Every structure is written in structure tokens, then in C-alpha cells.
Structure 1
Amino acid sequence: MRFVTFLLAVAACAGVVYNHLQLNDIRQQVEQIQVKLASQQNRTGSAGIAEAKRHLQRALQLMSSGKLDEAKKEMELGSKTIAEAAHQNDDTQHALQQVQQMLDSARKELARFWSGKQEKTP
């Protein structure tokens, strides 16, 4: 019986570590997107890019506090803001569209992660 309890404890710890690593990977993706946005903002001075960066910063804060559903919404707002900025800035449109695709991918990954956590929670 002790061995079974030990195995369950090890499995629980492994799950926590895996979840932490997965969420940390998503955070790193969002941070990389922020760097790319900063580069584009330096080229264009776009207020839309600054707004998108604020949404992403808020998403990172929400992820850190465990509010993943709200973080996903902030990432979605950031993606929409990037799309608007891309539409307004023809010279950086392609680069911003790539950044938007990266953000959408990270947001979908967070959504999958969050839905998996909800299924496991009674």
C-alpha cells in the first residue's frame, strides 16, 4: 500500500512539473512575440503595436497568477490589435501578420493546456 501511495505521489509531482514546463514554454513564446513587436514598433511608431504589447504583458501577468482563461482573452485582444496595426501599416504588414500567427498559435496552445486542466479538475 505504501508503494502505491509513493507511486501516486511521484505521478502527481511529475504532472505538476510537466504543467509548469508547458506553461513556462507558452510564457516564453509570448515574451518572444513582445520582442518582435518592440522591433516593429521601433520601425513604425504604431500606437496599435504598443497596445498589443500591453495586452501581452497583461496576459503574462494573468498567467503568473493562474488566471489562464483571462490570459487567453488578453492574448486574443492582442492578436486583434496586431491585425489592425498590420492593416494600417503596409510596410510592416507581412512581419506583423507573422507575429499575429505566432500569437494565435501560443493562444491556442494555452487554450489546449487550460482545457486539459479543467477536464482533470472535478
Structure 2
Amino acid sequence: MRFITFLLAVAACVGVVYNYQQLRELRQQVEQIQVKLASQQKGTEPAGIAEAKQHLQRALQLMSAGKLDEAKRELEQGGKALAEVANRNGDTQHTLQQLQQMMESARKELARFWSGKQEKTP
């Protein structure tokens, strides 16, 4: 019986470590997006980019707080804001498409992480 309890404790620890690693990877992706957004600033930034930046910062805060489903919504809203800017500004469209792809991959990673967490939760 003690051995089974020990195995369950080890499995729980492994799950926590795995979830922490996934969360850290998501944070790094969001930070990369923030850096790219910051590098796109020229004097005044378009309203859509500022909005996307706010969504990314909020998503990072929510991820840090463990509110993953809310973070996912913030990432989706940031992606929509970037899509709107890309449609309005043809000159920066390529860069914005790259940012949108990064946001999409962060969103997919968050969804994959969240689905794995829900499977482990009894």
C-alpha cells in the first residue's frame, strides 16, 4: 500500500513538473511576441498593435496566475486585433502575419496544454 501511495505521489510530481514546463514555454512564446511587437513600434503604434500588445500582456499575467482558459481567450482576442491591423496596413502585413502565426502557435500550445491538464484532473 505504501508503494502505491509512493507511486501516486511520484506521478503527481511528474505531472506538476510537466505542466510547469508547458507553462514556461507558453510564457516564452508570449514574451517573443511582445518583443516583436515592441520592435514594430515607429513613433506611434497603430491602435490594433497596441490592443494586441495589451492582450498579450494580460494573457501572460493570466498564465502566471494559472487561469489558462482566460489566457486562451486573451490570446485569441490579440490574434483578432493583429488580423485587423494586417488588413488595414499593407506595408507591415508580412510582419503582422508572422506575429499572428506566433500567436496562433501560442494559442495551440495553450490549448494542447489545457487539454492535457483536463485529462489528468479527476
TM-score class normalised by the smaller sequence: over 0.9
Greater Cα shift, 75-84 or 5-14: 5-14
Gaps of 5+ in 1: none
3-state SS of 1:36 partner: helix
Aligned-partner Cα distance in 2 for 1:13–1:65: 19
Count of matched residue pairs: 122
| Cα deviation 1:27-83 (Å, max 9, x = unaligned) | 110110011011112377212101100000111111111111111000000001011
| Distance verdict in 2 for CA 1:105–1:31, change over 3 Å | same
Q: How does 1:1-122 map to 2 (within 5 A)?
A: 1-42=1-42, 45-122=45-122
Asked if structure 2 preserves the Cα contact closer than 8 Å seen for 1:41 and 1:50, the reply is no
Gaps of 5+ in 2: none
Aligned-partner Cα distance in 2 for 1:110–1:97: 20
Structure 2 letter corresponding to 1:9: A
Report the TM-score, using the length of structure 1 for normalisation.
0.92
**CA root-mean-square deviation:** 1.4
Aligned-partner Cα distance in 1 for 2:101–2:43: 20
3-state SS of 2:66 partner: coil
3-state SS of 1:91 partner: coil
Question: Which structure has more helix as a fraction of its residues?
Answer: 1
Aligned-partner Cα distance in 2 for 1:38–1:74: 18
Identity among equivalent positions (%) equals 78
